[in-house]
Homo-oligomer: A and B are copies of this chain.
Amino acid sequence: MSKPEITERRKPVASHGGHPCGACPVRNLSVCSALNDDELAVLEEIVSNRDIPAHQMIFQEGDDAGDLFNVLEGVVTLYKLMPDGRRQITGFLFNGDFMGLSVNGKFAYSAESVTPVTMCRFPRRRLDGLMERFPHLQRRMMGLASNELAAAQDQMLLLGRKSAKEKIASFLLTLSRRAAQREQPDDPVFLPMSRADIGDFLGLTTETVSRTFTHLKSSGVIRLLEGHRVHLADREALTDIAEGL
């Protein structure tokens, strides 16, 4: 395959019992965790899957937000651009994470795959219908929105008031904690994104990100490993740094 393409997989009609959503790898991480098996079967009626290669645009700021997405596998960035190309990444999404909250029916940010990604997709109108039927689904959505908002506020504190060192330390710890929540290894932290991406998330340049990693490494707090992984050698020191102590 020379030209990467987005693959649409209309889910196979459930024929012999085993249905995708029930076997979903992120079933108890995401929205779906609010639903029991019967309800999940209803959800499955409106869901379709998508495979996306690395470094592909998923949607753009301002696009009609007809769909909501759930990341099953891989990493996604959400970001905003200024006319001159300055970029602010507002979040990295991992498996189980949800995206698509919109304002006036338009996406408020763009989304791009960092690695190859598998997602599932819900038409917004249909999902709204389900929320009317299943109030706990709506509760769950509200909870997710609240969490996102709290994360956004932490990020504002980071961007507005932390030094480069504090930013990198906070970033590593946040990734580690989120991995733990997904029941994935939280120590060698997986950093699939580029230095430029990290910079655009933390309000720094590539060079400063790189220098700061080097500095934390030579002070023995972290160790850079093969395959985009970072070992948090001294987690306590890292926590202190992150909080400015």
Contacts and interface: CB of A to CB of B under 8 A. Distances in A.
Interface string A75-102: 0001010111011101000000000011
Interface string A196-225: 000011110000000000000000000000
A112 to B, nearest CB: 15
A90 B161 CA distance: 12
Given A88-B156, A160-B159, A161-B86, A138 B149 contact: no
B156 A155 contact: yes
Contacts of A180: none
Interface string A91-118: 0000000000111000011000000000
A153 B90 contact: yes
A243 interface: yes
B156 A101 contact: no
A239 to B, nearest CB: 11
A101 B153 CA distance: 12
A141 interface: yes
A154 interface: yes
Contacts of A152: 149, 152-153, 156
Contacts of A109: 153
15 contacts: A82-B243, A84-B245, A86-B161, A90-B156, A101-B149, A145-B145, A145-B146, A148-B149, A149-B149, A152-B153, A156-B159, A159-B160, A159-B203, A160-B202, A160-B203
A226 interface: no
B138 A80 contact: no
A147 interface: yes
A103 B142 CA distance: 11
- Nearest 4 pairs of A and B residues by beta carbon: A160-B203, A152-B152, A159-B159, A88-B157
A155 to B, nearest CB: 6
Contacts of A245: 83-84
A178 to B, nearest CB: 14
Contact of A83 (B135, B150, B243): B243
